[in-house]
Amino acid sequence: MASKTIPPETSQVERHGYLFGHPIAHSMSPLLHQTVYDGLGLKWSQFPLDSMDMELFLKLRQDPKFYGAAVTMPHKVAILQHLDGLTPEGASVGAVNTLFIREDPETGKRRYMGTNTDVVGIRDSFYQNISDPDESFHGRPGLVIGGGGAARSAVYALRTWMKASKIYLVNRDRNEVKAVIDECKARGYGNELIDVASVEQAEKLEGVGAIVACVPNFSPKSELEKEARRVLECFLAKEHKGAILEMCYHPSPWTEIAEISQKAGWKVVLGTEAMIYQGLEQDKYWTGKEIEEMPLKEVHQVIAAKLSEAKL
């Protein structure tokens, strides 16, 4: 059965990669990368490998024409033991979404390397869309909504590159927040992380500059979910208005949180921006080209067109 998951088209391109994960049917990753390769004049393709089978993937990556892979759930942590090295981002986040190849200068053998471009996607979403970061979010507290892997990536980006003075964490589940704080501390970027559990606590805190929302788009139902939403609304209502990145973009990038943020006077950055910039960063590793050399406009256009198509 496994052989059926191997894309037969690999023989028709000069080099190929994979999107390895499950489920991946809704992913726009192959479309994004194809747009980049076509724009660069490369006869390359990324093929979806919707599979839980790590052994299959490890065999496929031995192909001399393989250039690397986007690695998504549930393999982002499991892949670590099958790599020869990590970038600082991959090591610090403790999860890899990108496998790329480098040659060992001494032996000439391939080294399978891992990085995490999700953190770069978050960073670049802000810097590519906010004209005055000093005014908007530098030197101010950041805010992360959620408690999963994306929340950890957001903490890393805010702490490492975006000059957040401290980071507030807002979530319905205190245990998830504690897990994020503990892991970020263990990895060396967990200072000044504050669990904000109530509106009373939020009211006393300094306003924020950059917010990253890492939760699915749904109306709060339980009392804990409602309180988390009220905490967010408390921060949105404060005097300083910065920028919020809404990471959720499926099925639509315009979410409840995007709507209430815009109404409160905040600049909203859609989650497709994070998806695009993390993908372009992957292509930097795979092609050796800088982002400025890539067809940025075309990538934005095809992703916007794909989203409109999904709404029809």
Please, which pLDDT band fits residue 11 given cuts at 50, 70 and 90? confident
At 169-189, the pLDDT tens digits run 999 999 999 999 999 999 999
Percent of the chain whose predicted confidence (pLDDT) is above 70: 96
Comparing 117 with 308, the larger pLDDT belongs to: 117
User: In terms of DSSP H, where are the helices of 140-270?
Assistant: 149-160, 174-186, 199-203, 223-237, 256-263
Q: Tell me whether residue 250 is in a domain.
A: yes
Buried b (16+ CB within 10 A) or exposed e, 67-98: bbbbbbeebbeebbeebeebbebbbbbbbbbb
Comparing 263 with 250, the larger pLDDT belongs to: 263
Q: Tell me whether residue 238 is in a domain.
A: yes
Q: How far apart are CA 103 and CA 145, in angstroms?
A: 40
Domain end residue (candidates: 90, 116, 142): 116
Please, which pLDDT band fits residue 26 given cuts at 50, 70 and 90? confident
Q: What is the pLDDT of residue 5?
A: 52
Q: What mean pLDDT do residues 252-259 have?
A: 92
Q: What is the pLDDT of residue 225?
A: 95
Q: What is the pLDDT of residue 2?
A: 42
Q: Looking at 10-14, 28-32, 125-129, which range is the least confident one?
A: 10-14
Q: How far apart are CA 45 and CA 14, in angstroms?
A: 8
Residues 41 and 161 in one domain: no
Q: What mean pLDDT do residues 31-36 have?
A: 98
What is the number of structural domains in the chain? 2
Which tokens hold the place of 300? 């934005």
Residues 8 and 137 in one domain: no
The enclosing domain of 90 has a CATH number of: 3.40.50.10860
The enclosing domain of 246 has a CATH number of: 3.40.50.720
Residues 189 and 248 in one domain: yes
The parent domain of residue 128 ranges over 120-270
Pairing of strands 15-21, 44-50: parallel
Please, which pLDDT band fits residue 33 given cuts at 50, 70 and 90? very high
Q: Tell me whether residue 311 is in a domain.
A: no
Which tokens hold the place of 263? 């109404």
Contact status, residue 160 vs residue 143, Cβ threshold 8 Å:
no
At 142-153, the pLDDT tens digits run 999 999 888 999
Q: What is the pTM of this model?
A: 0.92
Q: At residue 272, does pLDDT exceed 70? A: yes
Q: Considering only CA atoms, which of 61, 156, 164, 157 is closest in space to residue 114?
A: 61
Q: Tell me whether residue 285 is in a domain.
A: no
Helix, strand, coil shares of the chain, percent, nearest 5, are 45, 20, 35
Please, which pLDDT band fits residue 249 given cuts at 50, 70 and 90? confident
Q: Tell me whether residue 302 is in a domain.
A: no
Residues 207 and 145 in one domain: yes
Residues 112 and 126 in one domain: no
Q: What is the pLDDT of residue 4?
A: 47
Q: At residue 109, does pLDDT exceed 70? A: yes
Please, which pLDDT band fits residue 7 given cuts at 50, 70 and 90? low
Q: Considering only CA atoms, which of 238, 244, 239, 215 is closest in space to residue 228?
A: 215
Which tokens hold the place of 66? 């393989």
Q: What is the pLDDT of residue 1?
A: 36
Which tokens hold the place of 199? 């509106």
Q: How far apart are CA 277 and CA 303, in angstroms?
A: 12
